[in-house]
Chains A and B, each alone.
Chain A
Amino acid sequence: MEPWGHFTVSEYEAVHRVVGDLAVHLRIERGALVVGIDAPVGPLTGFGPTREERWAAPGPATSVEVAPALPDRPVVVGVRNPFRLAPGAETRLQVHLPIWAQVHLEDEERTLLAELPSAVLSQTWWGGKTRGELAYWLPAEVEHAEADIATAAPTRAVCVLRIANRSTRVLEVDRLAIRAPQHSLFRTRRGFVTDEARIVYLGEADAAVDVSGAPPAFEPDAPRVQGPRLLLPRGLRALTFAHLRSLELY
């Protein structure tokens, strides 16, 4: 069952939605809206069994929305099936990204009450030891799919990347940074799909990235459920492959 939708929380009606590995529950208790997140018990700290926050409830019955969103940081894919791209070659990849759930109050400001991932991902560092950025680590297989898009699980989004090697050297792809905060999320008949990113590898430490912002070609009318969290400046050089880590990030 999909966790997404609009719900009413009252003293008599609690809401409990399972989002992948985690769950969110909302209830009104003595005039306060209690938002709780259940997570798998972690090694010692960090992920507790339940984390609760109390909000002043706007009324005896409160409308909330549980909406899908892309991760709030870049996702570094540790490619389980690494591959090489010959000079001049081009490939189209698909990666299944875990979706985040955002719980909003249905007020004018659409206040964000909570945000939780559908899968607990480890943290990783993308860049050099003196400069870089915090990212999520996702060990995953990439699918080479020229035309079709696979059907995604309810809490996963298919991210399509088109990689072109315009350099004179062979490009080895074993790590791949997906700029999730700069992608948009669309709901299609085959599940959630992000807009396509085109990455052109130009040589030693140079790559150009362009995120289309458009719905997938197979369903151009697909509704956008989330816009980019961060805007990607056009024509900026990107840090996408593992050996380009000294580059400034986009």
Chain B
Amino acid sequence: MLPRLQQIADTAQALADTATAPLTDTVVAVAPAVVPTPDEAGSLVQVALILGLGIPLLAWITLWVRSVVSRRVGPHRGVITGKLLFYPGLVFLVALVMREMGFSLTPMLGAAGVVGIALGFASQTSVSNIVAGFFLVGERPFVVGDMIEVGTTAGRVLSVGMLSVKLRTWDNRFIRVPNESLMRSEVTNLTRFPIRRVDLVVRVSYDADLERVHDILLDAARAHPSSLMEPEPRVYFVSFGETAVHVKLTVWSTQEERRELKHSLPALMKRKLDEAGLPMPRLPGVMPLAIDAGGGGV
């Protein structure tokens, strides 16, 4: 500690002793005027400079690096790079300020080690989330804006943070998924590739001409405005069921139009089969037309 600070502390102690002394003993103590010496004034100016210039400069550099990384690599990497730059920078500035104020950093680092161990035990989950966050950023299984499925949860990625990933579900719920859970679970990225396949399983009567069914289903797929001509739609035989033959129509569409295709193509297929005199067999309590979502029901 600075000698001048020690002197001020001694004076304060003397005043405290005076206040507790018996009233009969009149002690007159005159506190010396606290006027900073030129050295102290210099230190205070340096502290003010470190805080006044250092923090805005650090914030500006962080924002700049974040925007550059976001532009070149992706927004979530930009956010994480910014945090990785800002917090160590802030710790460095605080250490500089404390040194200027005369605190020795060596015992503080020792104390920080002890506190660190205690905190480490207390925050194992957070640390594992942070480590998982680094892996997520490195591996990049999804980016902000992608639609993902984790276990039973599916939604659009709003942000990828150091501790968790935030999702917005289809019915507009906000879900926070800890990074550690993402590392342990199977994550399906539903929008990674620009096109996807819709699979529709149809039950056909044993009396029906399967070649005709094949042609009708392909016609229906090609007639739909949301289906793609290439990759080509295809019809596959699936199985001989107890009451019907099961065939599968696979159709490709863009991500944007997949939902429209998935919901309106079955009606078109049914209409075309009905028009051709090939109605799908009915069973009480059994859906005549089953839809296999084909890798994610969304």
Partner among B195, B222, B267 whose Cβ is within 8 Å of the Cβ of A132: B195
CB pair B228 A46 closer than 8 Å: no
Partner among B230, B231, B268 whose Cβ is within 8 Å of the Cβ of A44: B268
CB pair A129 B193 closer than 8 Å: yes
In the assembled complex, the Cα of A76 lies from the Cα of B227 at a distance in Å of 15
CB pair A124 B225 closer than 8 Å: no
Which residues of A sit under 8 angstroms from B230, Cβ to Cβ?
76, 124-126, 137
13 contacts between A and B (CB under 8 A): A43-B223, A43-B224, A122-B222, A122-B225, A122-B228, A123-B225, A124-B230, A125-B252, A129-B231, A130-B192, A131-B194, A134-B254, A137-B230
CB pair A123 B193 closer than 8 Å: no
Which residues of A sit under 8 angstroms from B220, Cβ to Cβ?
43
Partner among A42, A43, A129, A137 whose Cβ is within 8 Å of the Cβ of B229: A137
Query: Closest chain A residue to B260 by CB distance?
Result: A45
Known: A44-B224, A123-B226, A130-B194. 12 other contacts (CB 8 A): A43-B223, A43-B224, A44-B271, A45-B225, A46-B225, A123-B225, A123-B227, A123-B228, A125-B195, A125-B254, A130-B192, A132-B194
- The reply to whether the CB of A83 lies closer than 8 angstroms to some CB of chain B is no
Q: Which residues of A contact B (CB under 8 A)?
A: 42-47, 76, 78, 122-126, 129-132, 134, 137
Which residues of B sit under 8 angstroms from A132, Cβ to Cβ?
194-195
In the assembled complex, the Cα of A126 lies from the Cα of B192 at a distance in Å of 17
In the assembled complex, the Cα of A25 lies from the Cα of B193 at a distance in Å of 39
Mask for B159-188, Cβ within 8 A of A = 1, else 0? 000000000000000000000000000000
Which residues of A sit under 8 angstroms from B104, Cβ to Cβ?
none
Which residues of A sit under 8 angstroms from B226, Cβ to Cβ?
45-46, 123
Which residues of B sit under 8 angstroms from A122, Cβ to Cβ?
222, 225, 227-229
Partner among B192, B222, B231, B260 whose Cβ is within 8 Å of the Cβ of A125: B231
CB pair B228 A124 closer than 8 Å: yes
- The reply to whether the CB of B264 lies closer than 8 angstroms to some CB of chain A is yes
Partner among B195, B254, B260, B268 whose Cβ is within 8 Å of the Cβ of A43: B268
Which residues of B sit under 8 angstroms from A78, Cβ to Cβ?
229
**A193 to B: closest C-beta gap in Å:** 27
In the assembled complex, the Cα of A132 lies from the Cα of B227 at a distance in Å of 16
Q: Which residues of B contact A (CB under 8 A)?
A: 192-195, 220, 222-231, 252, 254, 260, 264, 267-268, 271
CB pair A123 B194 closer than 8 Å: no
The interface centre, meaning the residue of A78, A129, A137 with most chain B CB atoms within 10 A of its CB, is A129
Which residues of A sit under 8 angstroms from B223, Cβ to Cβ?
42-43
**A76 to B: closest C-beta gap in Å:** 7
In the assembled complex, the Cα of A129 lies from the Cα of B229 at a distance in Å of 13
CB pair A44 B267 closer than 8 Å: yes
Which residues of A sit under 8 angstroms from B222, Cβ to Cβ?
122
The interface centre, meaning the residue of B192, B223, B225 with most chain A CB atoms within 10 A of its CB, is B225
In the assembled complex, the Cα of A126 lies from the Cα of B231 at a distance in Å of 9
In the assembled complex, the Cα of A233 lies from the Cα of B224 at a distance in Å of 35
In the assembled complex, the Cα of A130 lies from the Cα of B189 at a distance in Å of 13
CB pair B229 A124 closer than 8 Å: yes
With contact pairs A125-B230, A125-B231, A132-B195 given, residues A44 and B264 touching in the complex (Cβ less than 8 Å): yes
In the assembled complex, the Cα of A76 lies from the Cα of B230 at a distance in Å of 10
**A44 to B: closest C-beta gap in Å:** 5
The 4 closest A-B pairs by CB, nearest first: A46-B225, A124-B229, A137-B229, A43-B223
Which residues of A sit under 8 angstroms from B228, Cβ to Cβ?
122-125
**B167 to A: closest C-beta gap in Å:** 24
In the assembled complex, the Cα of A124 lies from the Cα of B252 at a distance in Å of 9
In the assembled complex, the Cα of A124 lies from the Cα of B228 at a distance in Å of 4
**A45 to B: closest C-beta gap in Å:** 5
In the assembled complex, the Cα of A125 lies from the Cα of B253 at a distance in Å of 9
Which residues of A sit under 8 angstroms from B271, Cβ to Cβ?
44
Which residues of B sit under 8 angstroms from A47, Cβ to Cβ?
225
CB pair A43 B225 closer than 8 Å: yes
Query: Closest chain A residue to B193 by CB distance?
Result: A130
The interface centre, meaning the residue of A43, A130, A137 with most chain B CB atoms within 10 A of its CB, is A43
In the assembled complex, the Cα of A47 lies from the Cα of B268 at a distance in Å of 14
Which residues of A sit under 8 angstroms from B260, Cβ to Cβ?
45
In the assembled complex, the Cα of A122 lies from the Cα of B219 at a distance in Å of 13
In the assembled complex, the Cα of A16 lies from the Cα of B278 at a distance in Å of 42
**B229 to A: closest C-beta gap in Å:** 4
Which residues of B sit under 8 angstroms from A129, Cβ to Cβ?
193, 195, 231
Which residues of B sit under 8 angstroms from A124, Cβ to Cβ?
228-230
In the assembled complex, the Cα of A78 lies from the Cα of B230 at a distance in Å of 10
